Amino acid sequence: MNRTLDATAALLGLKPRTFRNKLRELGILNQAGELASKHRDQGYLFVEPRSRWNANINTYSHYAVVMVKESGVAWLAKQLGITVTTHNKDAAA
């Protein structure tokens, strides 16, 4: 399951702004909030291109969103020194 940075922050128990600031300190995000080039294509994070209709200029505006893959959640937790516990769905049944 892919998550936005805000959803990942909530999962790790951090506020979105604090989470982004820590990612900037680690060099995972650049100052503009974009994914640093050295972290692309490693299997943890990716950039999802999106667009929306902008009625003011009568055309689409394009932007990108940094997304976290499922394996990236554990990797980010390790980078940040956060302990993550996983719940097995079958154990609850």
Per residue in 35-64, pLDDT (tens digit) is 999 999 999 999 999 999 999 999 999 999
Which residues lie below 8 Å from residue 48, measured CB to CB, with a gap of 6+?
Answer: 2, 64, 65, 66, 67
Residue 52 placed within a domain: yes
Q: Could you give the CA distance from residue 30 to residue 24 in angstroms, rounded to a whole number?
A: 6
Tell me the residue range of the domain where 74 lies: 3-85
Band of residue 24 on the pLDDT scale cut at 50, 70, 90: very high
How many domains does the chain contain in total? 1
Residue 34 placed within a domain: yes
Band of residue 83 on the pLDDT scale cut at 50, 70, 90: confident
Band of residue 91 on the pLDDT scale cut at 50, 70, 90: low
Residue 40 placed within a domain: yes
93, pLDDT greater than 80: no
Residue 57 placed within a domain: yes
Residue 90 placed within a domain: no
Residue 36 placed within a domain: yes
Q: Residues of the chain with pLDDT > 90: what percent?
A: 85
Residue 92 placed within a domain: no
Band of residue 88 on the pLDDT scale cut at 50, 70, 90: low
Residue 91 placed within a domain: no
